[in-house]
């Protein structure tokens, strides 16, 4: 009994030590984020033609408004939007038709093609869409992103920089479907964004995200086109690695897009975040393990179960630092992602997902279960039955 109590006490102090380290790290990382977001962007004055690639699946909340934000740009050149679905009865197709009627002057192409090209359905959709893409600059972005009017000009400005092969963008969360979606949206805003900017600034990470991947057609062809990523789960990360393999850099301008979260219950939040976490763990296991200190408030709360008084002393500064992070992000975004009182629950959920990700080998992607391979590839259900 005494030995067990001693072990429990030791675990409590270890967790609290991690919380203290995490609080110091998070304070510095928040400062790095604040400094990064204060940079001035240089919008491009070029009028090159651009093709926007929007792979779609289902009519998520505010899909029409999200897509419309890409059509009201200050960019002076021609813009083509190619939207793709893989089923004629996909409700997203009707949203695109509504968009065509709303913006009759815009060039919008709808591709409906059921052909599959690998386990990654999104990449298969992109492969089908490329037959309609006409211009030399491609800007790929997920369907749940919303942007400001200077988005294209700022992205193209970053792409113009010497040695840059692709541009990706930061994003914050935006809950579109009630409480659970706001809880989910707080993750990108108040956790992911901070760690991402810190890693990029310190040279610890080279992110490339589905929020935006802007690149020249010649660069896409040089890395093998989208076909090269048909069986890769983290296709955005793999595209970035392939671009860097060409000796080119991935630029991140200091603008923040909005990522729409539409989760309506805890199960949807859990599955989505577990897939993200397991993917990151598989791609960068050492860095992912070190990210444990990125949950200082959750660690402090956990440590307080073993040492209540000391835990309260650690919880207070951890909460203050997390509130500071919220202030920095909300001020830059011009809107609050979630109320402050959600932070303890948000951080507790993130820590639970972190732990659970070490026990996951099969992930759920929009209703399809995919088995993760050790090299970052995925296997579809049909291939599972043959193996």
**What is the per-residue pLDDT across 83-139, written as a single tens digit (0 to 9) for each?**
999 999 999 999 999 999 999 999 999 999 999 988 888 999 999 999 999 999 999
Q: What does the domain layout of the chain look like in residue ranges?
A: 10-37+272-382, 50-264
3-state secondary structure of 51: strand
Q: How confident is the model at residue 233 (pLDDT cuts 50, 70, 90)?
A: confident
Give the angle subtended at the CA of 124 by the CAs of 238 and 154, to the nearest 5°: 55
- For the ranges 149-153, 277-281, 337-341, the lowest mean pLDDT is seen at 277-281
Give the angle subtended at the CA of 85 by the CAs of 126 and 365, to the nearest 5°: 75
| Rounded Cα gap, residues 278 and 261, in angstroms | 19
Q: How confident is the model at residue 386 (pLDDT cuts 50, 70, 90)?
A: very low
pLDDT of 182 over the 50 cut: yes
> How long, in residues, is the chain?
387
pLDDT score recorded for residue 350: 95
Alpha-carbon distances, residue 294 vs 139, 205, 278 (angstroms): 31, 15, 16
| Residue of 24, 26, 62, 11 lying closest to 350 (CA atoms) | 26
What are residue 110's DSSP bridge partners? 83
**What is the per-residue pLDDT across 295-326, written as a single tens digit (0 to 9) for each?**
999 999 999 999 899 889 999 999 999 999 99
| Rounded Cα gap, residues 298 and 319, in angstroms | 10
For 136, other C-beta atoms within 10 Å of its C-beta total: 12
CB 298 within 8 A of CB 350: yes
- For the ranges 63-67, 285-289, 378-382, the lowest mean pLDDT is seen at 378-382
> Which residue is listed with tokens 């989910």?
184
pLDDT of 345 over the 70 cut: yes
Query: Mean of the pLDDT values across residues 166-174?
Result: 96
Helix ranges (DSSP H) in the chain: 2-37, 63-68, 91-102, 121-129, 151-159, 179-187, 193-201, 217-222, 235-245, 266-283, 285-290, 296-304, 308-333, 343-356, 381-386
| Rounded Cα gap, residues 127 and 116, in angstroms | 9
199: which 2 tokens? Answer: 């890693």
Kindly report the backbone phi and psi dihedral angles of residue 324, in degrees, each rounded to the nearest multiple of 5, phi listed first. -65, -40
Q: Which CATH architecture has domain 50-264?
A: Alpha-Beta Complex (3.90)
pLDDT of 384 over the 50 cut: no
Over the chain, what is the mean pLDDT? Answer: 90
Tell me what percent of the residues of the chain surpass a pLDDT of 90: 72
| Rounded Cα gap, residues 131 and 346, in angstroms | 42
> What distance separates the 2 farthest-apart alpha carbons in the chain?
77
**What is the per-residue pLDDT across 237-296, written as a single tens digit (0 to 9) for each?**
999 999 999 999 999 999 999 999 988 999 999 998 998 888 888 878 888 888 999 999
């Amino acid at each position: 009994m005494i030995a067990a109590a001693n072990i429990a006490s030791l675990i409590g102090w270890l967790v609290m030590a991690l919380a203290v380290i995490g609080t110091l790290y998070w304070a510095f990382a928040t400062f790095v984020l604040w400094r990064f977001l204060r940079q001035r962007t240089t919008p491009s004055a070029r009028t090159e033609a651009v093709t926007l690639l929007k792979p779609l699946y289902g009519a998520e909340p505010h899909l029409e408004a999200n897509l419309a934000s890409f059509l009201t740009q200050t960019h002076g050149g021609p813009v083509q939007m190619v939207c793709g679905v893989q089923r004629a009865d996909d409700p997203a197709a009707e949203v695109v038709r509504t968009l065509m009627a709303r913006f009759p002057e815009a060039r919008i192409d709808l591709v409906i093609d059921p052909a599959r090209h690998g386990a990654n359905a999104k990449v298969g959709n992109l492969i089908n869409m490329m037959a309609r893409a006409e211009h030399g600059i491609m800007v790929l972005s997920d369907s749940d992103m919303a942007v400001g009017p200077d988005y294209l000009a700022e992205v193209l400005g970053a792409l113009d920089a010497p040695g840059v092969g692709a541009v990706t963008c930061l994003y914050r969360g935006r809950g579109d479907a009630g409480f659970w979606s706001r809880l989910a949206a707080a993750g990108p805003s108040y956790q992911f964004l901070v760690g991402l900017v810190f890693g990029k600034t310190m040279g610890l990470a080279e992110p490339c995200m589905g929020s935006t991947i802007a690149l020249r057609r010649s660069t896409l062809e040089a890395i093998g086109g989208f076909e090269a990523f048909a069986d890769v789960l983290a296709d955005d990360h793999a595209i970035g690695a392939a671009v860097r393999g060409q000796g080119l850099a991935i630029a991140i301008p200091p603008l923040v897009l909005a990522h729409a979260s539409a989760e309506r219950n805890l199960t949807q939040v859990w599955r989505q975040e577990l897939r993200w976490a397991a993917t990151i763990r598989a791609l960068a296991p050492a860095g992912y393990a070190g990210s444990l200190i990125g949950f200082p408030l959750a660690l402090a709360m956990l440590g307080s179960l073993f040492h209540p008084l000391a835990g309260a002393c650690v919880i207070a500064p951890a909460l203050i630092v997390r509130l500071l992070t919220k202030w920095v992000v909300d001020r830059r975004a011009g809107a609050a992602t979630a109320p402050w009182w959600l932070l303890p629950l948000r951080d507790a959920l993130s820590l639970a997902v972190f732990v659970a990700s070490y026990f996951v080998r099969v992930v759920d992607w929009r209703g399809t279960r995919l088995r993760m391979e050790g090299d970052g590839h995925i296997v579809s259900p049909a291939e599972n039955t043959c193996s």
